[in-house]
């Protein structure tokens, strides 16, 4: 009986420790790419056949019927403070269509952050006219 209580307590501790794990590092990778994929709640891993397959399932790139593809996406996040951008290029590498190369770039950025390095003067005073990038 004592061993069951110890095992049960260990499981509870494990569950509570997992609940405290941070879930925001690189969370932008969970956003997704493509209007079709986002409209299907990201359930496109087996059905995507365009350039966004480089993000969802790279093995599906070989089923692409086009010789060359370009895909782009831009989204504003956090009331326009952040931007989420995607750009992808893909091309068939052989005439049989068994090889397809692709390059994808994903960017999640916060633009227009004011430069406050020169906010304080040498005497310790604060001069708000020194803020750059506003």
Q: Where are the domains of the chain?
A: 2-130
Handedness of CA 123, 125, 127, 128 (dihedral sign): positive
Q: What are the pLDDT digits (tens) for 95-126?
A: 887 888 999 999 988 877 777 777 787 787 88
Give pLDDT, residue 70: 94
User: Above pLDDT 90, what percent of the chain?
Assistant: 13
Instruction: Over range 39-43, report the average pLDDT.
Output: 83
DSSP, collapsed to helix, strand or coil, labels residue 76 as strand
Give pLDDT, residue 71: 93
Strand order in the sheet with 82-92: 68-77, 82-92, 100-110
Q: What is the value of pTM for the model shown?
A: 0.64
How high does pLDDT run on average in the chain?
A: 80
């Amino acid at each position: 009986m004592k061993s069951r209580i110890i095992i049960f307590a260990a499981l509870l501790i494990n569950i509570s420790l997992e609940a405290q794990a941070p879930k925001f590092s690189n969370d932008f990778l969970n956003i997704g790419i493509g209007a079709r994929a986002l409209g299907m709640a990201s359930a496109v891993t087996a059905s995507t056949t365009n350039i966004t397959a480089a993000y969802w399932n790279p093995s599906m790139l070989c089923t692409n019927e086009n010789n060359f593809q370009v895909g782009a996406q831009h989204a504003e996040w956090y009331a326009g403070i952040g931007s989420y951008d995607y750009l992808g290029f893909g091309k068939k590498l052989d005439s049989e269509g068994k090889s397809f190369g692709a390059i994808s770039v994903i960017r999640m950025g916060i633009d227009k952050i004011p430069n406050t390095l020169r906010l304080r003067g040498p005497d310790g005073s604060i001069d708000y006219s020194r803020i750059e990038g506003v």
